[in-house]
């Protein structure tokens, strides 16, 4: 993708609904544009029945495992003036778009200043302007900074938090099944307090789509280093 200027949202200290509301209010116009583009692509390539089934599964599994993140999406949709299920589907388009291939790449290597995590966000053409950067602090004290796709929760691309955990996610396109949408698993990992906690969150089941996430942390036992973890979240 060509470099672009990404809008920035500083949500401050807030709860999940406040976070979603801040994103929706600040990004109303670009969210509308992104939803129109993605929903048009989805409706061209999938039947109404497949779309309805995908929305039902995304809602059902997130409501069961991560209701707090549905609160974020509901508040985002309300603030942006978009139907909740349209925003939900746009933010989890991989649950229904079958004709895409694996694209993004993540690397981690040891450098002079510690472990470096690198990621290229190489999704579909037309998504170049479909990103935003958000900063927030949640009630439990977790603060984070994330690059994410419009209409998606924080964490859908890369994130770093105040617990010293940084990560990126890569889709592994394969057979879909009913389960937790990938972007909600990534949203959960934004709040990981350690690599062990990160891996536990990454392996939450059932999962709708295979995904690979790589994370590094600020390891206290090494003066100038870090640890890293690669967590394949396949079936």
User: How confident is the model over 9-38, as a mean pLDDT?
Assistant: 96
Classify residue 82: in a domain, yes or no. Answer: yes
Classify residue 122: in a domain, yes or no. Answer: yes
Global pTM value: 0.85
Classify residue 199: in a domain, yes or no. Answer: yes
pLDDT tens by residue, 56-98: 999 999 999 999 999 999 999 999 999 999 999 999 988 776 5
In terms of Cβ atoms closer than 10 Å to its own Cβ (0-12, 13-18, 19+), residue 28 is middle
Classify residue 85: in a domain, yes or no. Answer: yes
Classify residue 2: in a domain, yes or no. Answer: no
Classify residue 1: in a domain, yes or no. Answer: no
Look at the chain and report how many structural domains it folds into: 1
- Contact between residue 130 and residue 91 where contact means Cβ atoms under 8 Å apart: no
pLDDT at 219 > cutoff 80: no
Classify residue 3: in a domain, yes or no. Answer: no
Classify residue 24: in a domain, yes or no. Answer: yes
- Contact between residue 165 and residue 84 where contact means Cβ atoms under 8 Å apart: no
Lowest average pLDDT, out of 11-15, 53-57, 171-175, 191-195, goes to 171-175
Domain of 206 in residue numbering reads as: 8-232
CATH of the domain at 66: 3.60.60
Dihedral through CA 10, CA 19, CA 230, CA 205, nearest 10?
Answer: -170
Find tokens 């649950």 and name the residue.
Answer: 95
């Amino acid at each position: 993708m060509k470099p672009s200027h990404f809008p920035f949202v500083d949500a401050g200290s807030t709860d999940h609904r406040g976070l979603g509301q801040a994103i929706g209010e600040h990004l109303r116009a670009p969210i509308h544009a992104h939803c129109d583009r993605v929903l048009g692509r989805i409706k061209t390539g999938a039947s109404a029945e497949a779309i309805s089934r995908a929305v039902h599964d995304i809602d059902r599994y997130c409501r069961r495992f991560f209701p707090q993140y549905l609160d974020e999406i509901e508040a985002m949709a309300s603030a942006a003036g978009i139907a909740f299920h349209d925003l939900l589907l746009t933010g989890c388009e991989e649950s229904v778009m079958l004709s895409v291939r694996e694209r993004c790449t993540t690397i981690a290597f040891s450098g002079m200043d510690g472990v470096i995590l690198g990621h290229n966000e190489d999704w579909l053409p037309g998504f170049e302007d479909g990103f935003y950067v958000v900063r927030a602090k949640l009630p439990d004290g977790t603060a984070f900074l994330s690059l994410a796709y419009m209409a998606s929760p924080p964490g859908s691309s890369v994130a770093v938090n105040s617990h010293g955990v940084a990560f990126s996610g890569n889709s592994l396109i394969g057979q879909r099944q009913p389960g937790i949408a990938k972007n909600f698993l990534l949203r959960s990992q934004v709040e990981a307090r350690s690599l062990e906690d990160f891996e536990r969150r990454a392996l939450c089941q059932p999962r709708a789509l295979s995904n690979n996430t790589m994370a590094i942390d600020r390891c206290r036992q090494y003066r100038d280093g870090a640890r890293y973890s690669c967590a394949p979240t396949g079936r």
